[in-house]
Amino acid sequence: MDKIKVAVNGYGTIGKRIADAVSLQKDMEIVGVSKTKPNFEAFMALEKGYSVYSPSEKIKKMKEAGIEVSGSIEDMIGKADIIVDCTPGGVGEKNKPIYEDANVKVIWQGGEDHELAGFSFNAIANYEEAIGKDLARVVSCNTTGLCRVLYPLDKEFGVKKARVSLLRRAADPGDIKTGPINAIVPNPVKLPSHHGPDVKSVMPHIDITTTAVKLPTTLMHVHIVNAELATECNEDDIKSLLGGQSRIKFVGQGVSSTAEVMEMSRDMLRPRSDMWENCLWEDSVSIYDNELYFFQAIHQESIVVPDNIDAIRAMMEIEGEGTQSIEKTNRSMGIV
């Protein structure tokens, strides 16, 4: 079988990680990545052996800066079976016409609206619905993290209602443009936040309310999850269920903060010190007054990467079962 030809439009925080993860798969390959600026990421893409493409009007500038450009974005799209659009939120929408012209399959990221693709994806929650689809949107890091816990909880015990406080990092570690640097920012101030409806874009029947703040930290998000379940169960039942999920990692052993979670990912020698799994504090799992509570940390830069790989397999119909694709992706990336 020929390998699926994948192009990554937007080789930034998410795009570069997806390109590397695609390269690890036996059933797919990268045919090109796009950059609009001749920065270190563009040079490193070339060093890794990726063909770099640019918008036509930027090619001259890129070449002048020393980047060997293989062609325009349209040229790149012409070589691909499927595009993973990792351009900044809102830009992905503007790219839709060129994808339509090329009649190519597209995966957008969570920064775009659900309506753009008409289908929102999370590997564990709705892989099978994605099979053969031409357009999909892999939901954001926060929504991915919530789907990974709410889907099994709902399947096993029924989620009557979930209430989640989302504690969001202000900026990524390599980003110097934004704050806050010493404040807590209710964001959005108007409640509830859009994250609840975003979970419903994957699991429409879930009753969920979310609130969110922005914080002066760069490492990870933290979710404080509260859920009323339809079936009586105890803490061991919850730990056994969630601990059995391949993309949920229990943390403890002196890991008391997001800083130590990231230190652990560095010690695991993960590429870019990424953490693709939800990191759930086992000691925090509590049933109190008949309601479930726990803390989990979400690595915003990398958590959606394996789900993008699975979305490619489903849309390209090279794997009919979610569990099979998830296992292939996990094995290739080293998620155990």
| Binding site residues, a copy of itself, CB under 8 A | 161, 163, 165, 167, 169, 180, 182-187, 189-192, 207, 209, 211, 213, 215-222, 224, 226, 256-260, 281, 283-284, 286, 288-289, 291, 293-295, 297
Cα 287 to Cα 189, 246, 281, 293, 298, distances in angstroms: 29, 23, 14, 6, 22
What is the phi/psi pair of residue 274, to 5°?
A: -75, 160
Can you tell me the distance from the alpha carbon of 34 to that of 86, in angstroms, rounded to the nearest whole number?
10
Q: What is the DSSP letter of 3?
A: P
Give the chain's length. 336
Q: How far is the CB of 74 from a copy of itself (least distance, A)?
A: 41
Q: How far is the CB of 284 from a copy of itself (least distance, A)?
A: 5
Q: CB nearer to a copy of itself: give 28 or 285.
A: 285
- The identity of residue 184, as a single letter, is I
Q: CB nearer to a copy of itself: give 35 or 168.
A: 168
Q: CB nearer to a copy of itself: give 121 or 294.
A: 294
List, as one string, the DSSP characters of 183-209. Answer: --EESSSSSS-THHHHHHHHSTT--EE
Q: In which region does residue 11 sit, left (phi positive, over 0), alpha (psi from -120 to 50) or beta (all else)?
A: beta
Q: CB nearer to a copy of itself: give 137 or 214.
A: 214
Q: Is 147 a catalytic residue?
A: no
Q: CB nearer to a copy of itself: give 46 or 213.
A: 213
Q: What is the DSSP letter of 257?
A: S
Query: Using an 8 Å Cβ cutoff, are 84 and 9 in contact?
Result: yes
Can you tell me the distance from the alpha carbon of 196 to that of 285, in angstroms, rounded to the nearest whole number?
21
Placement of tokens 């699991």 in the chain: 203
Q: CB nearer to a copy of itself: give 43 or 293.
A: 293
Q: How far is the CB of 173 from a copy of itself (least distance, A)?
A: 9
Strand pairing class (105-108; 135-138): parallel
Q: How many CB atoms lie within 10 A of CB 44?
A: 12
Q: How far is the CB of 299 from a copy of itself (least distance, A)?
A: 12
The residues with which 31 forms a beta bridge, in sequence order, are: none
Q: How far is the CB of 35 from a copy of itself (least distance, A)?
A: 29
Question: Which residue from 186, 179, 138 is spatially nearest to 165, judged by alpha carbons?
Answer: 186
Q: How far is the CB of 181 from a copy of itself (least distance, A)?
A: 9
Q: Point out the residues that are catalytic.
A: 141
